[in-house]
Amino acid sequence: MESIKIKKATEQDIDRLQKIGKQTFAETFSSENSEENMREYLEKEFSTEKLKSELTDENSEFHFANLDNETIGYLKINIGQSQTEIKGTNSLEIERIYVLREFHGKKVGQILYDKAIEIAKGNNVDYVWLGVWEQNLRAIRFYKKNGFVEFNKHVFILGGDEQTDIMMKLKLD
């Protein structure tokens, strides 16, 4: 097996981003959510217009995890005003780390996470934060293992469903 390569996404990668984004989100959450709420969320959050504006936002970055020229996961980070919530002036948000189900347990998420921390350190932020669905115990364990602590909660809307995200953060040295 070749090694996993991380590549920053550009506007030309919009179709690839849309495909991996929808597929990984559906794999992760469709068993616990209604088909209608999933469809509404996927259509809105992964629309060509929304992804295009996110890809051209200088305060947001997407990075793909590629293996043998296949995209198997991705990362989205936000800084400054592009964070989904402003939790402080000098922070970086990990908005998404998603990996295709068949590659779970193969360290792909850790590689994407390490990339996010590298970017955070390069931007000299004080801390990294994120929101994770309270029922996504696998992700919560992953972030705790990487030193994150819970500090708050917020509401996440999936279609017509209000869900609770646990807010977690990691102070950087």
CA gap 98, 76 in Å, rounded: 9
Active-site annotation holder among 74, 98, 113, 143? 143
* Amino acid (1-letter code) at residue 15: D
C-alpha span between 130 and 109 (Å, rounded): 15
Q: Give the containing element (helix H, strand E) for 136.
A: none
Please indicate whether residue 41 is annotated as part of the active site.
no
Q: If we measure between CA atoms, which residue out of 3, 145, 24, 37 comes closest to residue 96?
A: 24
How far, in Å, CA of 116 to CA of 161, rounded? 29
Active site residues: 143
